[in-house]
Amino acid sequence: MSVMFRKITPLILAGVVLAAPATASLADEELGGMPPAPGAEETYYACSACHSIKLVVQQGLSRESWEESLEWMVEEQEMEPLEPEDLKLILDYLSTYYGPDRKAQSGAIVKQ
Ligand code: HEC
């Protein structure tokens, strides 16, 4: 986990408790509006290298579909294959927050 993530985590946690709008906009700036959680940074940096992170966060896919989507990214779009531990982290993150029920959109953390 990077220094940046450690630095913002207490602020984000405080924001969840207080539902402070200022904290939500900090998260927006830091990771393109993605909920800060394990895997958020890895996902952001791995996936915003070629295209906007918006292309990723507008989806709501099952873990299986995310996996297929990343296979397609590697096979057809020349993405560097991810290390197994990063792949797991990113799939966990995406299927938790950007699954079919899109938790990332319903919480107090992310403003639309
Ligand atoms: C090496 C470049 C590259 C990387 C890295 C990359 N992608 Fe992509 N991705 C693409 C290209 C190219 C497209 C097609 C863009 C288009 O259609 O305009 C795309 C499209 C997508 C789409 C839209 C697919 C659709 O059906 O419209 C999703 C979702 C996606 N990428 C997810 C990801 C995720 C998640 C990551 C990180 C794990 C990632 N991408 C990393 C190149 C990349």
**Tokens 């057809």 identify what position?**
76
Q: Which residues line ligand 1 (CB under 6 A)?
A: 46-47, 49-51, 55-56, 59, 69-70, 73, 77-79, 90
Nearest CA residue ID for atom 8, ligand 1: 73
CA 30 to chain centre: 11
What are residue 24's phi and psi, to 5 degrees? -65, -40
Residues 29-63 pLDDT 10s: 678 889 999 999 999 999 999 999 999 999 999 99
CA distance 4 to 7: 5
HSE-CB of 101 using CA atoms within 13 angstroms: 4
Q: What percentage of the chain reaches a pLDDT higher than 70?
A: 65
pTM value > 0.85 = no
Mean pLDDT of the chain: 80
- In the chain, beta strands by DSSP E: none
